[in-house]
């Protein structure tokens, strides 16, 4: 794909894929990409959370967020293939001891237009203290998955994890030995289960927050885009991140032999994405 639209951009070719970095407001750029006929296999992003980090980049008020983000999600879905996926990571804040409900409102609004397929938990291994006496450390964030329909590209074998089943050995022995009174608490017949070393993961992804100090306050750990890119796309597919930040999604795309269009509104972070990607392949790149 080639971008010849009106916004400042930088195209970067790597052995493993192409990245196009675009500097602009995604609300405008996404409409232009739609007019230009761009299509993506998956979009993965983390928008600015309402009322957070106002000093370092634009953020929207909780009251305005649902409408604003539902409109952007429509612009994203317009450029996602019929069998593509849209994942976004967000967590509501606490204001004067009360969790805000803007994320729930947003999810309900988007699900009136698109198929809310799943939600994933990012379980953080290094949660930060909240500083509040009556609150525990905030140890997780959610990632929401939306699709056009219930049929979409999905490759769970690409994200298999080692089995943690305590009964692995005994299950192997039980295999093919007829009916047993074995239960896992569900109505599944566990005697039919074949124990494997690597199994389909749950929708809880465990990884630490990024500790990279590269001039952006909200860098994704690369494990997050890696997981969703492998789960929902194939090699040479195209990935979209409308809120580019420091460019982690683009880095994940080229590490996994995919291509990426990444949009960032701030000129400063647009330059950071380009600089970060220029380091790709060099020793100790970040
Ligand atoms: C939560 S950060 C994304 C971090 C990113 N996932 C990473 O790993 O670095 C959100 C980014 O969206 C950018 N942003 C805010 N409003 C935007 C808009 N309307 N269009 C494009 N980018 C925007 C901010 O400047 C910020 O860099």
**pLDDT (tens digit per residue) in 263-272:** 999 999 999 9
Residue carrying the six token digits 């465990």: 206
Determine the residue of 44, 219, 225, 243 to mutate for testing ligand 1's pocket, defined as the one with the most ligand atoms within 8 A of the Cβ atom: 243
Q: Residue 113 C-alpha to ligand 1 middle, in angstroms?
A: 24
Radius of gyration of the chain (CA): 21
Model pLDDT, residue 53: 66
Model pLDDT, residue 129: 85
Model pLDDT, residue 167: 56
- Residue 10: pLDDT over 60: yes
- Residue 218: pLDDT over 80: yes
> Mean pLDDT over all residues of the chain?
90
22 C-beta closer than 6 A to ligand 1: no
Give residue 185's pLDDT band: very low, low, confident or very high (50, 70, 90).
Answer: low
265 C-beta closer than 6 A to ligand 1: yes
Give 145-163 pLDDT, tens digit per residue: 999 999 999 999 999 999 8
Model pLDDT, residue 58: 73
Give residue 285's pLDDT band: very low, low, confident or very high (50, 70, 90).
Answer: confident
270 C-beta closer than 6 A to ligand 1: no
Q: Residue 44 C-alpha to ligand 1 middle, in angstroms?
A: 12
Helices (H), 3-87: 26-35, 65-78
221 C-beta closer than 6 A to ligand 1: no
Q: In b/e form, how buried is each residue of 185-200, taking b as 16+ CB within 10 angstroms?
A: eeeeeebeeebeeeee
Determine the residue of 224, 265, 268 to mutate for testing ligand 1's pocket, defined as the one with the most ligand atoms within 8 A of the Cβ atom: 265
Q: Residue 25 C-alpha to ligand 1 middle, in angstroms?
A: 10
DSSP letter at 177 equals S
Determine the residue of 264, 268, 272 to mutate for testing ligand 1's pocket, defined as the one with the most ligand atoms within 8 A of the Cβ atom: 264
Domains and CATH numbers, the chain: 15-160+201-285 (3.40.50.150), 161-199 (no CATH)
The pTM assigned to this predicted structure is 0.90
> CA torsion 32→33→36→37, rounded to 10°?
-140
Give 69-91 pLDDT, tens digit per residue: 999 999 999 999 999 999 999 99
58 C-beta closer than 6 A to ligand 1: yes
Closest residue by Cα to atom 19, ligand 1, is 25
Model pLDDT, residue 196: 75
In 3-state terms, what secondary structure has residue 75? helix
- Residue 125: pLDDT over 60: yes
273 C-beta closer than 6 A to ligand 1: no
Contact 20, 263 (CB under 8 A): no
- Residue 102: pLDDT over 70: yes
């Amino acid at each position: 794909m080639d971008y010849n639209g009106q916004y400042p951009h930088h195209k970067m070719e790597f052995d493993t894929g192409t990245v196009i970095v675009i500097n602009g407001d995604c609300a405008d750029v996404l409409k232009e990409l739609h007019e230009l006929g761009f299509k993506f296999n998956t979009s993965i992003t983390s928008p600015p959370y309402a009322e957070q980090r106002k000093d370092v980049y634009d953020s929207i008020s909780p009251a305005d967020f649902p409408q604003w983000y539902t409109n952007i999600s429509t612009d994203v879905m317009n450029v996602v293939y019929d069998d593509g996926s849209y994942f976004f990571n967000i967590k509501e804040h606490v204001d004067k001891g009360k969790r805000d409900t803007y994320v729930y409102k947003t999810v309900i609004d988007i699900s009136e237009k698109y198929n809310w397929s799943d939600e994933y938990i990012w379980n953080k291994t290094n949660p930060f203290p909240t500083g509040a006496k009556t609150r525990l450390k905030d140890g997780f964030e959610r990632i929401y998955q939306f699709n056009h329909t219930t049929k979409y590209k999905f490759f769970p074998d690409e994200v298999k994890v080692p089995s943690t089943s305590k009964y692995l050995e005994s299950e192997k022995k039980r295999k093919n030995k007829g009916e047993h009174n074995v239960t896992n608490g569900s109505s599944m017949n566990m005697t039919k289960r074949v124990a494997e070393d690597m199994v389909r993961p749950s929708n809880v992804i465990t990884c630490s927050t990024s500790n990279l100090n590269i001039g952006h306050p909200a860098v994704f750990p690369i494990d997050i885009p890696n997981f969703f890119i492998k789960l929902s796309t194939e090699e040479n597919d195209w990935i979209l991140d409308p809120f580019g930040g420091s460019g982690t999604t683009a880095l994940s795309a080229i590490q996994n032999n995919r291509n990426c269009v990444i949009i960032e509104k701030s000129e400063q972070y647009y330059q950071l994405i380009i600089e970060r990607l220029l380091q790709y392949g060099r020793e100790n790149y970040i």
